[in-house]
Amino acid sequence: MVKPFVPQLVYVEPRALEYAKGRELIKKFEGMGIEIRRTTSHNQIRNLPGENDFQKYRVAKSTLVVGVRKTLKFDTSKPSAEYAIPFATGCMGHCHYCYLQTTMGSKPYIRTYVNTDEIFAAAEEYMKERAPEPTRFEASCTSDIVGVDHLTHTLKDAIEYFGKSEYGKLRFVTKFEHVDHLLDAKHNGRTRFRFSINDDYVIKYFEPGTSKLKDRIKAAVKIAEAGYPLGFIVAPIYLHEGWKDGYEEMFKHLKKALPSHAVRDLTFELIQHRFTKPAKRVIEKNYPMSKLELEESKRKWKWGRYGIGKYVYQNEEQEDMKDTLGGYIDKYFPYARLEYFT
Protein backbone atom coordinates (compact mmCIF):
# COMPACT_ATOMS: atom_id res chain seq x y z
CA MET A 1 0.00 0.00 0.00
CA VAL A 2 1.22 3.49 -0.81
CA LYS A 3 0.63 6.07 1.91
CA PRO A 4 -1.98 8.76 1.24
CA PHE A 5 -0.34 11.97 0.07
CA VAL A 6 0.57 14.57 2.68
CA PRO A 7 2.23 17.74 1.37
CA GLN A 8 5.60 18.76 2.82
CA LEU A 9 4.80 22.39 2.20
CA VAL A 10 1.61 24.33 1.46
CA TYR A 11 1.34 27.68 -0.30
CA VAL A 12 -1.83 29.73 -0.15
CA GLU A 13 -2.88 32.49 -2.53
CA PRO A 14 -4.66 35.32 -0.64
CA ARG A 15 -7.80 35.13 -2.78
CA ALA A 16 -8.25 31.49 -1.81
CA LEU A 17 -9.04 32.65 1.72
CA GLU A 18 -12.11 34.47 0.43
CA TYR A 19 -13.70 31.03 -0.11
CA ALA A 20 -14.94 28.77 2.69
CA LYS A 21 -13.12 25.80 1.16
CA GLY A 22 -9.84 27.72 1.14
CA ARG A 23 -10.20 28.65 4.81
CA GLU A 24 -11.16 25.10 5.76
CA LEU A 25 -8.16 23.63 3.97
CA ILE A 26 -5.68 26.00 5.56
CA LYS A 27 -7.12 25.26 8.98
CA LYS A 28 -6.78 21.56 8.28
CA PHE A 29 -3.14 21.88 7.17
CA GLU A 30 -2.29 24.04 10.20
CA GLY A 31 -3.78 21.31 12.38
CA MET A 32 -1.59 18.74 10.63
CA GLY A 33 1.49 20.81 11.49
CA ILE A 34 2.41 21.50 7.85
CA GLU A 35 4.40 24.63 7.02
CA ILE A 36 2.16 27.16 5.26
CA ARG A 37 3.57 30.01 3.19
CA ARG A 38 1.72 32.85 1.53
CA THR A 39 2.26 33.69 -2.10
CA THR A 40 0.63 36.42 -4.16
CA SER A 41 0.35 33.92 -7.01
CA HIS A 42 1.67 30.45 -7.70
CA ASN A 43 3.82 32.06 -10.43
CA GLN A 44 5.80 33.76 -7.69
CA ILE A 45 6.93 30.52 -6.06
CA ARG A 46 10.68 30.54 -6.53
CA ASN A 47 12.41 29.58 -3.30
CA LEU A 48 11.50 25.92 -2.91
CA PRO A 49 13.87 24.07 -0.62
CA GLY A 50 16.54 21.92 -2.32
CA GLU A 51 20.13 22.33 -3.39
CA ASN A 52 19.74 21.53 -7.06
CA ASP A 53 17.07 21.11 -9.74
CA PHE A 54 16.75 17.41 -9.00
CA GLN A 55 15.93 18.02 -5.32
CA LYS A 56 13.74 21.01 -6.03
CA TYR A 57 11.74 18.94 -8.50
CA ARG A 58 11.05 16.36 -5.81
CA VAL A 59 10.07 18.98 -3.24
CA ALA A 60 7.78 20.63 -5.81
CA LYS A 61 6.02 17.31 -6.35
CA SER A 62 5.12 17.27 -2.67
CA THR A 63 4.11 20.92 -2.47
CA LEU A 64 0.45 21.89 -2.57
CA VAL A 65 -0.80 25.31 -3.64
CA VAL A 66 -4.26 26.30 -2.47
CA GLY A 67 -5.49 28.71 -5.12
CA VAL A 68 -8.29 30.06 -7.26
CA ARG A 69 -8.96 28.96 -10.82
CA LYS A 70 -9.08 32.11 -12.90
CA THR A 71 -9.63 30.67 -16.39
CA LEU A 72 -13.10 29.25 -16.53
CA LYS A 73 -12.90 28.38 -20.19
CA PHE A 74 -12.61 24.60 -20.40
CA ASP A 75 -10.38 22.73 -22.83
CA THR A 76 -11.87 20.00 -24.97
CA SER A 77 -10.97 16.47 -23.94
CA LYS A 78 -11.33 14.05 -26.82
CA PRO A 79 -11.75 11.13 -27.10
CA SER A 80 -12.90 10.39 -23.57
CA ALA A 81 -15.16 13.40 -22.87
CA GLU A 82 -16.39 16.69 -24.28
CA TYR A 83 -14.59 18.95 -21.79
CA ALA A 84 -11.80 18.92 -19.24
CA ILE A 85 -13.05 20.29 -15.91
CA PRO A 86 -10.27 21.96 -13.92
CA PHE A 87 -10.27 21.16 -10.19
CA ALA A 88 -6.54 20.57 -9.75
CA THR A 89 -3.27 20.50 -11.64
CA GLY A 90 -0.08 18.54 -10.98
CA CYS A 91 0.48 15.20 -9.30
CA MET A 92 2.50 13.68 -6.49
CA GLY A 93 3.25 10.55 -8.53
CA HIS A 94 6.56 9.98 -10.28
CA CYS A 95 5.58 8.10 -13.42
CA HIS A 96 8.51 8.50 -15.76
CA TYR A 97 6.44 8.92 -18.89
CA CYS A 98 3.83 11.26 -17.42
CA TYR A 99 2.66 13.91 -19.90
CA LEU A 100 2.65 16.44 -17.06
CA GLN A 101 6.46 16.34 -17.19
CA THR A 102 6.32 18.59 -20.19
CA THR A 103 3.06 20.42 -19.71
CA MET A 104 3.89 21.52 -16.15
CA GLY A 105 7.50 22.34 -17.06
CA SER A 106 9.33 24.04 -14.22
CA LYS A 107 6.22 24.21 -12.00
CA PRO A 108 5.40 20.63 -11.12
CA TYR A 109 3.77 21.44 -7.77
CA ILE A 110 0.16 20.45 -7.16
CA ARG A 111 -2.53 23.11 -7.25
CA THR A 112 -6.02 22.68 -5.89
CA TYR A 113 -8.72 25.21 -6.73
CA VAL A 114 -11.18 26.28 -4.07
CA ASN A 115 -13.68 28.26 -6.20
CA THR A 116 -15.58 25.10 -7.06
CA ASP A 117 -18.99 26.82 -7.25
CA GLU A 118 -17.65 29.05 -10.04
CA ILE A 119 -16.25 26.00 -11.83
CA PHE A 120 -19.62 24.22 -11.53
CA ALA A 121 -21.40 27.35 -12.86
CA ALA A 122 -19.10 27.36 -15.90
CA ALA A 123 -19.82 23.65 -16.45
CA GLU A 124 -23.54 24.45 -16.36
CA GLU A 125 -23.10 26.86 -19.29
CA TYR A 126 -21.36 24.18 -21.34
CA MET A 127 -24.16 21.73 -20.56
CA LYS A 128 -26.82 24.23 -21.63
CA GLU A 129 -25.17 24.63 -25.03
CA ARG A 130 -25.45 20.90 -25.72
CA ALA A 131 -28.68 19.99 -23.95
CA PRO A 132 -30.56 17.69 -24.35
CA GLU A 133 -27.37 15.89 -25.43
CA PRO A 134 -25.39 14.80 -22.36
CA THR A 135 -22.04 16.50 -21.72
CA ARG A 136 -19.16 14.52 -20.23
CA PHE A 137 -16.53 16.25 -18.13
CA GLU A 138 -13.12 14.72 -17.55
CA ALA A 139 -11.61 15.72 -14.18
CA SER A 140 -8.16 14.19 -14.55
CA CYS A 141 -6.68 15.86 -17.61
CA THR A 142 -4.13 17.86 -15.67
CA SER A 143 -3.72 15.86 -12.46
CA ASP A 144 -4.47 12.58 -10.72
CA ILE A 145 -7.14 14.24 -8.67
CA VAL A 146 -8.02 11.17 -6.58
CA GLY A 147 -4.46 11.26 -5.19
CA VAL A 148 -5.12 14.56 -3.42
CA ASP A 149 -8.85 14.32 -2.86
CA HIS A 150 -8.70 12.59 0.54
CA LEU A 151 -7.45 16.02 1.71
CA THR A 152 -9.56 18.39 -0.39
CA HIS A 153 -12.84 16.51 -1.05
CA THR A 154 -13.29 18.61 -4.20
CA LEU A 155 -13.93 15.55 -6.29
CA LYS A 156 -16.45 14.31 -3.79
CA ASP A 157 -18.35 17.61 -4.13
CA ALA A 158 -18.15 17.30 -7.92
CA ILE A 159 -19.46 13.71 -7.88
CA GLU A 160 -22.45 14.86 -5.82
CA TYR A 161 -22.95 17.91 -8.02
CA PHE A 162 -23.09 15.81 -11.19
CA GLY A 163 -25.18 13.24 -9.33
CA LYS A 164 -27.95 15.86 -9.27
CA SER A 165 -27.31 17.16 -12.76
CA GLU A 166 -29.69 16.45 -15.61
CA TYR A 167 -27.29 16.56 -18.55
CA GLY A 168 -23.79 16.40 -17.04
CA LYS A 169 -21.64 13.34 -16.46
CA LEU A 170 -18.30 13.17 -14.71
CA ARG A 171 -15.35 10.89 -15.31
CA PHE A 172 -11.79 10.70 -14.13
CA VAL A 173 -8.99 8.20 -13.82
CA THR A 174 -6.54 7.37 -11.08
CA LYS A 175 -3.50 5.30 -10.21
CA PHE A 176 -4.19 5.65 -6.48
CA GLU A 177 -6.10 3.43 -4.06
CA HIS A 178 -7.30 6.16 -1.66
CA VAL A 179 -10.99 6.04 -2.48
CA ASP A 180 -12.66 5.37 0.87
CA HIS A 181 -14.03 8.89 1.34
CA LEU A 182 -15.76 8.62 -2.07
CA LEU A 183 -17.66 5.44 -1.33
CA ASP A 184 -20.66 7.17 0.24
CA ALA A 185 -20.84 10.04 -2.30
CA LYS A 186 -24.28 10.34 -3.91
CA HIS A 187 -23.12 9.68 -7.45
CA ASN A 188 -26.45 8.49 -8.89
CA GLY A 189 -24.59 6.52 -11.52
CA ARG A 190 -23.49 9.74 -13.24
CA THR A 191 -19.77 9.38 -12.56
CA ARG A 192 -17.65 6.81 -14.32
CA PHE A 193 -14.79 5.94 -11.99
CA ARG A 194 -11.80 4.66 -13.93
CA PHE A 195 -8.52 3.19 -12.82
CA SER A 196 -5.38 3.35 -14.86
CA ILE A 197 -3.82 -0.08 -14.85
CA ASN A 198 -0.78 -1.71 -16.32
CA ASP A 199 1.16 -4.91 -16.00
CA ASP A 200 3.47 -5.46 -13.05
CA TYR A 201 6.62 -4.73 -15.06
CA VAL A 202 5.47 -1.27 -16.13
CA ILE A 203 4.17 -0.33 -12.68
CA LYS A 204 7.33 -1.56 -11.00
CA TYR A 205 9.81 0.23 -13.26
CA PHE A 206 8.00 3.34 -14.41
CA GLU A 207 5.32 4.34 -11.90
CA PRO A 208 7.03 5.07 -8.56
CA GLY A 209 4.93 6.77 -5.94
CA THR A 210 1.63 5.29 -7.17
CA SER A 211 -0.40 2.32 -5.92
CA LYS A 212 0.49 -1.23 -6.93
CA LEU A 213 -1.79 -3.08 -9.35
CA LYS A 214 -3.30 -5.27 -6.63
CA ASP A 215 -4.15 -2.22 -4.53
CA ARG A 216 -5.72 -0.38 -7.48
CA ILE A 217 -7.82 -3.47 -8.16
CA LYS A 218 -8.88 -3.70 -4.50
CA ALA A 219 -9.97 -0.06 -4.71
CA ALA A 220 -11.83 -0.78 -7.98
CA VAL A 221 -13.76 -3.56 -6.23
CA LYS A 222 -14.83 -1.11 -3.49
CA ILE A 223 -15.92 1.38 -6.16
CA ALA A 224 -17.93 -1.29 -7.98
CA GLU A 225 -19.56 -2.29 -4.70
CA ALA A 226 -20.47 1.36 -4.11
CA GLY A 227 -22.44 1.16 -7.38
CA TYR A 228 -20.32 3.46 -9.55
CA PRO A 229 -20.04 2.68 -13.27
CA LEU A 230 -16.47 1.42 -13.55
CA GLY A 231 -13.80 1.59 -16.22
CA PHE A 232 -10.14 0.86 -16.82
CA ILE A 233 -7.62 2.67 -18.91
CA VAL A 234 -4.70 0.49 -19.88
CA ALA A 235 -2.07 3.14 -20.37
CA PRO A 236 0.51 3.40 -21.55
CA ILE A 237 0.64 0.05 -23.31
CA TYR A 238 4.36 -0.50 -23.45
CA LEU A 239 6.17 -3.24 -25.32
CA HIS A 240 8.73 -5.03 -23.20
CA GLU A 241 9.97 -8.58 -23.07
CA GLY A 242 7.08 -10.77 -21.96
CA TRP A 243 4.44 -8.05 -22.48
CA LYS A 244 1.80 -10.46 -23.78
CA ASP A 245 2.02 -12.60 -20.64
CA GLY A 246 2.25 -9.55 -18.39
CA TYR A 247 -0.95 -8.04 -19.78
CA GLU A 248 -2.78 -11.35 -19.71
CA GLU A 249 -1.90 -11.75 -16.03
CA MET A 250 -3.31 -8.29 -15.41
CA PHE A 251 -6.64 -9.11 -17.08
CA LYS A 252 -6.87 -12.45 -15.27
CA HIS A 253 -6.29 -10.77 -11.93
CA LEU A 254 -8.96 -8.23 -12.72
CA LYS A 255 -11.45 -10.88 -13.77
CA LYS A 256 -10.91 -12.83 -10.58
CA ALA A 257 -11.37 -9.80 -8.35
CA LEU A 258 -14.34 -7.95 -9.82
CA PRO A 259 -17.89 -8.71 -8.64
CA SER A 260 -20.09 -10.12 -11.39
CA HIS A 261 -22.48 -7.13 -11.50
CA ALA A 262 -19.54 -4.78 -12.26
CA VAL A 263 -18.50 -6.61 -15.41
CA ARG A 264 -21.88 -5.98 -17.05
CA ASP A 265 -21.19 -2.26 -17.43
CA LEU A 266 -17.47 -1.96 -17.80
CA THR A 267 -15.44 0.19 -20.16
CA PHE A 268 -11.87 -0.14 -21.36
CA GLU A 269 -9.71 2.48 -23.02
CA LEU A 270 -6.38 1.48 -24.56
CA ILE A 271 -3.59 4.01 -25.02
CA GLN A 272 -0.21 3.06 -26.44
CA HIS A 273 2.97 4.63 -25.13
CA ARG A 274 4.07 7.76 -26.97
CA PHE A 275 6.55 10.51 -26.36
CA THR A 276 7.58 13.86 -27.77
CA LYS A 277 11.09 15.23 -28.13
CA PRO A 278 10.63 17.80 -25.33
CA ALA A 279 9.22 15.04 -23.07
CA LYS A 280 12.25 12.87 -23.74
CA ARG A 281 14.58 15.69 -22.63
CA VAL A 282 12.64 16.25 -19.42
CA ILE A 283 12.45 12.53 -18.59
CA GLU A 284 16.18 12.14 -19.07
CA LYS A 285 16.76 15.07 -16.73
CA ASN A 286 14.30 14.12 -13.98
CA TYR A 287 14.68 10.33 -14.10
CA PRO A 288 18.20 9.77 -15.42
CA MET A 289 18.25 6.08 -14.43
CA SER A 290 14.98 5.23 -16.16
CA LYS A 291 14.85 2.08 -18.29
CA LEU A 292 12.13 3.65 -20.43
CA GLU A 293 12.82 3.06 -24.12
CA LEU A 294 12.75 6.43 -25.93
CA GLU A 295 14.47 5.66 -29.20
CA GLU A 296 13.01 7.75 -32.03
CA SER A 297 14.32 5.48 -34.79
CA LYS A 298 12.28 2.54 -33.47
CA ARG A 299 9.04 4.49 -33.55
CA LYS A 300 6.66 6.05 -36.00
CA TRP A 301 6.29 9.82 -36.16
CA LYS A 302 2.78 11.19 -35.88
CA TRP A 303 1.52 14.75 -35.93
CA GLY A 304 -0.17 15.61 -32.66
CA ARG A 305 -2.38 18.36 -31.30
CA TYR A 306 -1.00 21.92 -31.34
CA GLY A 307 1.45 20.88 -34.06
CA ILE A 308 3.67 18.94 -31.66
CA GLY A 309 4.69 15.65 -33.20
CA LYS A 310 4.91 12.48 -31.17
CA TYR A 311 6.55 9.09 -31.51
CA VAL A 312 4.16 6.15 -31.40
CA TYR A 313 4.71 2.46 -32.15
CA GLN A 314 5.04 1.15 -35.72
CA ASN A 315 1.80 0.12 -37.46
CA GLU A 316 2.40 -3.65 -37.07
CA GLU A 317 3.17 -3.22 -33.38
CA GLN A 318 -0.01 -1.20 -32.91
CA GLU A 319 -2.02 -3.91 -34.66
CA ASP A 320 -0.43 -6.53 -32.41
CA MET A 321 -1.28 -4.53 -29.28
CA LYS A 322 -4.84 -3.95 -30.38
CA ASP A 323 -5.38 -7.62 -31.28
CA THR A 324 -3.69 -8.96 -28.18
CA LEU A 325 -5.28 -6.70 -25.59
CA GLY A 326 -8.59 -6.57 -27.48
CA GLY A 327 -8.50 -10.38 -27.49
CA TYR A 328 -7.99 -10.50 -23.71
CA ILE A 329 -10.91 -8.12 -23.21
CA ASP A 330 -13.15 -10.35 -25.36
CA LYS A 331 -11.97 -13.44 -23.52
CA TYR A 332 -12.20 -12.21 -19.94
CA PHE A 333 -14.83 -9.44 -20.20
CA PRO A 334 -17.19 -10.30 -23.05
CA TYR A 335 -19.76 -7.71 -21.93
CA ALA A 336 -17.30 -4.83 -21.63
CA ARG A 337 -17.12 -1.95 -24.09
CA LEU A 338 -13.79 -1.08 -25.65
CA GLU A 339 -14.13 2.68 -26.10
CA TYR A 340 -11.03 3.33 -28.19
CA PHE A 341 -7.44 2.43 -28.89
CA THR A 342 -5.12 5.33 -29.54
Q: Minimal distance in Å, beta carbon 235 to ligand SF4?
A: 8
Q: Report the site for ligand SF4 in 101-140 (rule: CB under 6 A).
A: none
**Contact string (CB under 6 A) for ligand SF4, positions 193-222, x = contact:** -----------------x------------
Give first-to-last CA distance, the chain, whole Å. 30
Residue 67 and residue 64: Cα distance in Å, rounded? 9
Is residue 95 near ligand SF4 by the rule CB under 6 A? yes
Residue 121 and residue 190: Cα distance in Å, rounded? 18
- In the list 65, 98, 182, 254, the residue contacting ligand SF4 (rule: CB under 6 A) is 98
Tell me the CA distances in angstroms from 72 to 68, 69, 83, 85, one per residue in order.
10, 7, 12, 9
- In the list 64, 91, 139, 170, the residue contacting ligand SF4 (rule: CB under 6 A) is 91
Is residue 96 near ligand SF4 by the rule CB under 6 A? no
What is the β-pairing status of strands 191-197 and 135-138? unpaired
Is residue 144 near ligand SF4 by the rule CB under 6 A? yes
Taking only Cα atoms into account, the Rg of the chain, rounded to an integer number of angstroms, comes to 20
Is residue 88 near ligand SF4 by the rule CB under 6 A? no
Segment contacting ligand SF4 (CB under 6 A): 21-29, 90-98, 225-233, 327-335? 90-98
Segment contacting ligand SF4 (CB under 6 A): 66-74, 91-99, 263-271, 276-284? 91-99
Determine what percent of the chain falls in helix, strand and coil, rounding each to the nearest 5. 40, 20, 40
Q: Which is nearer to ligand SF4, 127 or 139 (CB)?
A: 139
Closest CA to 97 of 259, 242, 312: 312
Query: Angle formed by the axes of helices 277-286 and 53-60, to 10°?
Result: 100
Q: Minimal distance in Å, beta carbon 171 to ligand SF4?
A: 15
Binding site for ligand SF4 (CB under 6 A): 91, 93, 95, 98, 100, 144, 175, 210
